[in-house]
Structure 1
Amino acid sequence: MKDGGANIEALDHHVPKVAVIGADKDGLSLLPLLLKDNPLGKLALIVDPNREAMLFKLGELGYRVSGQIDLKISSDLEELKRVAGLRVIINSLQDEATAAALDDPALRDVEKLSPLGARLLLGARNLVSVRASGAPYVAREADLLATLREITDALHLSASREELFSVVLRVALESLRGERGSLMLVSRADGRLTMPVAVGMDEEVRRKIRVPIGSGIAGRMVQEKKPLLIRGKIDGGFAPPGTRRDVKCAVCVPLVSGGEVLGVLNVNSHESEDAFGEQDLNFLTNYASITASIVRRAIELDDMKLDSLKLDFLKDVEFFMSSTVPLRQRLGMICGKLSGVVPGLTAFIYLYDDTKRKLELGGSSVNGLKDATPVSLAMGEGLEGSVAVEDAEEVVLVDRCCEGRFRRAYVSFPLRAKGRFLGTLNGQISSVRGLTEFYESFLREAASYLADSVLRHLEEEREAARIQKLLSVDDIGIDIVSIREPRELMDKVTTAAAMLIGAEGAVLRLRKDAGKQRFQVVSSFGTDDRGVKERFLAVEKDVVAEAVRRNETTVCLDPEKGSPFIRSVMARPIHQKGMITGVLTLFNKVSETTHDNYGFTAVDKSLLSRFALYVERALSYLRQGTLSVASEGRDLSQCRLLDVERRVEEEVNRAKRFSRKFVLATLRFSWIKEYRPEAKAEFVGKFIDFTRKKVRTFDQLLTLDEDTLAFLLLETDERASRVFATLAEATSRHADFGKAFADGDVELYYGYSIYPDSGDNFADLFSRASQRTKLDLEKVFR
């Protein structure tokens, strides 16, 4: 044996060389096979961190350190790069330091095997040698299959999924002397055939292959479960792109385990149409039946690892998304988590803004970008934008060459949930191993769950924001209803509308003459700039006319007449007694978080409609010269339908939590005798004061309009007719009301609903409570 100082380069360069890393049991057990003539190559080097221990083990095994063996021993992994003609490295250590050394560019083209994989390939190549000599090789086939059965249980535990599948394919190619081949598996994600490993195919092309079941030769084989020997030109069936034209012979067999087709094993030759025969087909069929169990176990093991990784990620996502920090910071933490899981990953999350129709950078694992100026991309712009296009699929790009120490990849996965496009999950990978199939699957699964989580939290946040804005509308609406001075009211309407909706300005127009469609500006906000005012009024006239024509809230985005001053306009008709008496218009919606301008949303339309109801009520009181009961300072709940809706919804939620019932009732005055507005208001006010003394202190009495009251009788399912009967009896005997009811000047009509018997939402409950019946005092109390 030559010691470490021997000159390895003096060996014959034309003889393929083999190196073994690790002088343990698995590595040294291969010496009897490697030291004799074998088709794998000549053993030239053994590397182990403990050189002295390695020499002792060799001596114990009977290999003397002398000229008996022509190989080198070393403790330095750098010696691998000095072996001329190195073809195979058998790694028995499988530690991180060794794996990093083996990814050196100088060793990139050297085949790496585990000890069990090497033993299997030695068996396959010996079979090829016997076949090439013309000797019978049936026995060798049996030996190879028997060996394969013995190592099935060990191989799937000792090798990575990539190495395992690679060895499976290499054994098939070596056994049949095929030049090209592939292992295809049925994806559990979409049911199509993917290609985890292939020989003779571009890496990027391999990753993109997706073959539907039933399509082509491979797809039909999954359905029929029958092996196939093909000679001559392949027409219409599946073959690896770039090789179909020159494939002259192919063997394709299904991988079946437990009655389930896991995939297809393909071996191709471009040398001769007679490269493979029936005996090869039988061998590969038997080989596939054993290989299928390895593949199944590898898939199950990977699934277990993937499920564990996913579970940890899901917990972290829920934790991050439930925090109170801004959404951008939460998404940044998720990107940081992904970068910690996937080696070499730099992660970015873009969210889709449906108002701007752009992708906004929501989070990144790059520290410098977390507080940077917001980044946005248009739909279809760049790789991220291309994924945002409707029905676009994910993008996975990998290096076609392996220059340098690191492999690089780029991925972009669309975030879709419940039919909605929410954004993209993007990553740049630069690592020794690049993007493995395992981590690609993890990122795909992570994108799916992230989309569900983002949608859920966005909906929760938007609903919370909507409710908060509705409460703000209610608060300001109450103030508006109580304003007595016309000028103060008009100015308050435009300033409040712009503030609530988030607009640069607003204009209120009212009808000048009854019966005409001419509306005069009575108040404006945000139109002090002459250029803005001129451009806005030019656009506003058209939008107002359209809103009046359609009699509904109308939105105009990017009007040509207003550019560049006016970018969005929204107008809502104001009604009085079923007639359009005015229009409230807002322009230039502004984001709460940025200075960008974008369009008005559906939420903005609903807020404006709610606000307009208060404006209509205030204008009605102003024209009548009266005030609402609430504005006179009476101790009542809010006098409006919208407030009744909010209170009922709150009570519905409380009743659901505690499994209780409540009654919603309405009482309406029908004025038979003509009363002046002031007299009506005084009559109703006294009736309310009297009624409050007749109900429980925790019941709620609310005013819907001048003639209608609403009752919330809490924590009871008592029929409201009894309550009204008691109320009616007391009313008929009251000094102030009894005579008016007895003379028929005023009549009462009542209706009620019971939660949850009549419904479980405001619309159903109020609809039922509005079906009123006349309260006949004489019939009840006579």
Structure 2
Amino acid sequence: MRRPVAIYGVSDETLALIPLLEDNPEIEIRGAYDAELVQARERAAHPAPGLRLTDDPTLFAERLHAVIDAGTLSPFSEAYPEAAAATQVLSPLTARLLWGYGVSSGDRKAELLQALHEIVESVNLTVEPQELFGRMLEIAMSVTGADGGSLMLLDHEASELRVRVALGVEPELWPKIRVPLGEGIAGRVAADARPLKVRGAADRDQFQIVRERFDVESALCVPLIHEGKVLGVLNLHCATRADAFDDDDLEFAEQLGRLDAEIITRAQEHETLRREASRYAAVREVREVLATAEPLDVRLRALCQQVARRAGGGIATAYLYDREDDSLRWVATSLDGAGLGADWRVDSGEGIDGRAARTRQPVTLNGADGRLAYAALPLLAGGQLVGLLAIQTGEPVPSGRALEEALLEMAAAAAEAVAQAEREARMSARSTKMTAINEAGIRLVSTRETAEVTRLATSSGALILEADHAVLRLQDPETRRYVIRSYYGSGDRRTQEELFQLDKLVAVDTLRGRQARLLRKIEAEPNLAEAAGRFQSALSAPLRRESRVIGTLSLYDKVAPDQFYAGPFHDDDLQVFTRYVSYVERALENALFYASSSQHRNFDEETGLPNGEYLAVRIDQELVRAGDQEGRLSVASCRIENLDEVRREGDVVRADRLVQQVALALREPLRDFDVLARTGEAEFSMLLPDPGPSPEERVTELARAVADRIANDDRLNEPVRVVLAFGYALHPSEGSDRQALLKRAQQARIRMV
């Protein structure tokens, strides 16, 4: 197929170049552009037949192999940056060298070297290096009469030469040819940085030749040196004549080698800048894609599509790392409609992706042509694995490390974005769950019926922790067996039967262990494996009352809102579950105590409030729960200081009414799980669990609210005004036991008249 080129600017130089290009069967001139079309036509008095002269810039919208910039107009790369990015822009001199000289001969050595020198000295070396190297090798062979040759570049890290371009060797063999420094003719020349001319077959021992070639009768090999550094070698050989090369050929090859070295250096500098620009663009694209407000799986799908486009239309897959399970969980792919509802996981160390995850190192596979074929790139943020990006490349894929470097940069940018998104998601989920737990806790502790408490405990627990099933057992006081009091879940009868068999075993283990636990994989537990069945993961905790275990609460199989399948619970879930269990224990304590109290009449008949005995039991329970933690409970008191005077000066009915009104006024601002008790004829005491950051302010506000309500009732304050005294005590700073707390709380700190 002929290569389409266009000319940008009509000048004497480009007009002289046109006949040479038209004589080249590999080149097709699509047209010559000039903004000053009239002057261009005058300059081209006798244009080549069929040459299209135009001032229409749509010429550059066509798919072109190259644009030849005459230098008479504004630079093409500035005038048409999009077109320049999609093709190579050459000077007329470079185009003449590549396509205008035809088969070179020995008498044109000086002209060819001068052309090459001018190319090297040009300001912008934008020509594709591979094409230029190929042309230079062709020139070297045609001038010297060689019938084969290669240009090899030195890999300094591996200390070996690799083929960049060769004639007489199949391209698919190039990546397989590697010559260590010091071995063979090419290895010796690169190691010694001196040229060699070999007449006849090379001595195998002298040159440490591993694989002897019988098709080479003579050879030239010159080092490619720039600023004292060996970059590679230029090899030329002849298969038929031992005297094929003379000293002039060696001198020409050396000069050509020096120019080759300069071109390599310039090309590498240009390639470095291009790679950096490409990497910066790739990183910017990744950050833009992952900075949206879409859910993380949607953003990762967009990332996969972007990566797949950069990889030549290949396939990209994104995994997130599950620390608890030490596995990679599939979350997104560039393929349309793939993986809906599936829980695909790769264990650490399993396959290529698993090995990259375990070692925290990228793993790449190259094809026979040396181009990248597959890459497994760990997503590392702060040294921690957060996921993995797996890429299968498509066609075409650029040679060299440019693509691999760009993908590594994209993976690094993606890792930071994924880590940030996961941190925010965890914080948000934890905050939401803790808020839900507090709200559910208030409902639980304000419920007086045991059956309702157990129902709420399973339903609220399953909803908050996204469990598929919840089972609560309580000990039967007569049989002493732990029986199911509540189940919540989506299981049918058969599923419930299987679950209850499993829960029986889980409950026994939990009662033995006497602490909350996480069963990440039920089937991995030796005594549960046979009963695990369809159930994967569980949370289980004992329920205590007065330090005695009275039951268990267990949750099974986490089903997140964005998933269609059950997954495992994690350590974060265990922390939230433990917090929730404390509310369930408190609610059961309240409900069971109320049931017991109603049988033993631990209530004041006049006000309907619990009495001092009930309050004493509840304070002891909260002290056990609080331990030595600051701010977990406080005790407050309110005393009608002149109740006797009110009774003497007024009447008994008015005094009784005052007691009832004070009780009502105290009850109103308290929370459902606070305990208000009448502990004396003129005294009320309050237990305030979790009083908040400022218990003193809370008691002061309570005193003010009660005093205002009593003071505004004129009938209660005639003929004697009511005097109220309030006190409080904080645990453990003002009392570590019940007696000390009550004694301190009975000391008046606030008086209201």
Same fold (TM over 0.5): yes
Q: Does residue 48 of the first structure (1) align with residue 11 of the second (2)?
A: no
Q: CA deviation at 1:527?
A: 7.6
- Asked whether the equivalents of residues 387 and 394 of structure 1 are also in contact (C-alpha less than 8 Å), the reply is yes
Structure 1 residues 282 and 587, CA gap change in structure 2 (3 angstroms): farther
Q: Distance in 2 between matches of 1:316 and 1:19?
A: 33
Is 1:618 paired with 2:587? yes
Q: Deviations over 1:320-343 (max 9, x none)?
A: 322222334333444555567x49
In 2, Cα distance between equivalents of 1:223 and 1:575:
80
SS at match of 1:612: helix
The offset of 1:483, in angstroms, is: 2.4
In the alignment, structure 1 residue 369 sits paired with structure 2 residue 337:
yes
1:423 to 374, 377, 388: 388
| Residue 476 of structure 1: aligned partner | 440
Deviation readout 1:153-182 (Å, 9 max, x if unpaired): 338534124434555666677788484545
Q: Displacement of 1:555 after TM fit?
A: 0.9
**Aligned partners of 2:318 and 2:331 also within 8 Å:** yes
CA 372–568 in structure 1, closer or farther in 2 if over 3 Å, else same: closer
Structure 2 unmatched runs, 5+: 53-58, 68-89, 524-528, 598-609, 616-621, 637-674, 702-723, 737-743, 748-753
Q: Deviations over 1:174-208 (max 9, x none)?
A: 78848454544769xx9998969343777677679
CA positional deviation for 1:489: 1.3
Which 10-residue stretch deviates more, 275-284 or 412-421? 275-284
Tell me which residue corresponds to 1:602: 571
Change (3 A) 1:244 1:462: farther
Cross-structure match for 1:88: none
Q: How does 1:8-407 map to 2 (within 5 A)?
A: 29=16, 47-49=28-30, 96-99=62-65, 116=94, 119=97, 126=104, 129=106, 147-154=115-122, 157-164=125-132, 166-167=134-135, 177=146, 179=148, 181=150, 183-184=152-153, 197-199=164-166, 263-265=231-233, 267=235, 290-335=259-304, 337=306, 342=310, 345=313, 348-352=316-320, 354=322, 357=327, 359-360=329-330, 362-364=332-334, 369=337, 376=344, 393-395=362-364
Q: Give the corresponding residue for 1:503.
A: 467
Which residue of 705, 712, 734 maps to 1:748?
Answer: 734
Aligned to 1:521: 484
User: Are the counterparts in 2 of residues 411 and 427 from structure 1 also a CA contact under 8 Å?
Assistant: yes
2: CA distance between counterparts of 1:237 and 1:58? 63
Report the structure number with the largest CA radius of gyration.
2
1:460 aligns with 2:428: no
CA distance in 2, matches of 1:223, 1:624: 92
Residue in 1 aligned with 2:498? 535
Match for 1:572 among 541, 544, 551?
Answer: 541
The Cα of 1:360 is off from its aligned counterpart by: 2.8
| RMSD, aligned α-carbons | 6.6
Letter in 2 for 1:618: A
Query: Could you tell me the TM-score, scaled by structure 1's length?
Result: 0.57
Q: What is the identity percentage for the equivalent residue pairs of Structure 1 and Structure 2?
A: 20
Distance verdict in 2 for CA 1:747–1:309, change over 3 Å: closer
Equivalent position SS for 1:595: coil
Q: Which amino acid aligns with 1:499?
A: L
Compute the displacement of 1:289 (Å).
Answer: 5.1
Q: Residues of 1 paired with 2:190 and 2:571: CA distance?
A: 49
Answer whether contact 1:156 1:298 (CA < 8 A) is retained: no
**Equivalents in 1 of 2:206, 2:130: separation in Å?**
31
Inter-partner Cα distance in structure 2 for 1:382 and 1:667: 52
Q: Contact 2:161–2:232 at 8 Å: present in 1 too? A: no
Summarize deviations over 1:15-34 as a string: whole Å, max 9, x none: xx999966876666568999
Counterparts of 1:746 and 1:154, CA distance in 2: 84
- One-letter code aligned to 1:360: W
Partners of 2:480 and 2:174 in 1: CA distance: 68
**Residues of 1 paired with 2:699 and 2:268: CA distance?**
68
Counterpart of 1:748, as a letter, is E
Distance across 2 between alignment mates of 1:244 and 1:467 = 73
Give yes or no for contact 1:183–1:195 (8 Å, CA) kept in 2.
yes
Question: Which one is further off, 112-121 or 497-506?
Answer: 112-121
Residue 553 of structure 1 and its aligned partner are, at CA, apart by 1.2
From the superposition, tell whether residues 44 and 453 of structure 1 become closer, same or farther in structure 2 (CA, over 3 Å).
closer
- Give the partner amino acid of 2:503: E
Q: What SS does the corresponding residue of 1:748 show, helix, strand or coil?
A: coil
SS of residue matched to 1:152: helix
How far is 1:517 from its partner? 10
CA–CA distance in structure 1, aligned partners of residues 480 and 136 of structure 2: 82
Matched residue, 1:682: 685
Q: Is the 8 A contact 1:573 1:583 kept in 2?
A: yes
Structure 1 residues 574 and 335: CA distance shift in structure 2, 3 A: same
Task: Report if aligned partners of 2:282, 2:409 keep a CA contact under 8 Å in 1.
Answer: no
Task: Count how many residue pairs are aligned between Structure 1 and Structure 2.
Answer: 598
* TM-score, normalised via structure 2 length: 0.59
Bigger mean CA deviation after superposition, 376-385 or 218-227: 218-227
Partner of 2:606: none
**Counterpart amino acid of 1:302?**
E
Residue 475 (structure 1) shift? 2.2
Contact 2:148 2:237 in 1 (8 A): yes
Question: Could you say what secondary structure the match of 1:97 adopts?
Answer: coil
Q: Are residue 586 (structure 1) and residue 552 (structure 2) matched?
A: no
State the distance in 1 between where 2:699 and 2:212 align.
86
One-letter identity of the residue aligned with 1:462: R
2:63 is paired with a residue whose SS is helix
d(CA) in 2 for partners of 1:490 and 1:622?
10
Hey, what's the Cα distance between the residues in 2 that align with 1:640 and 1:228?
A: 92
Cα 1:59–1:371 change in 2 (3 A) is same
Cα separation, partners in 2 of 1:58 and 1:348, compared to 1, 3 Å? same
CA contact (8 A) 2:341 2:565 kept: no
* Partner Cα separation in structure 1 for residue 505 and residue 131 of structure 2: 69
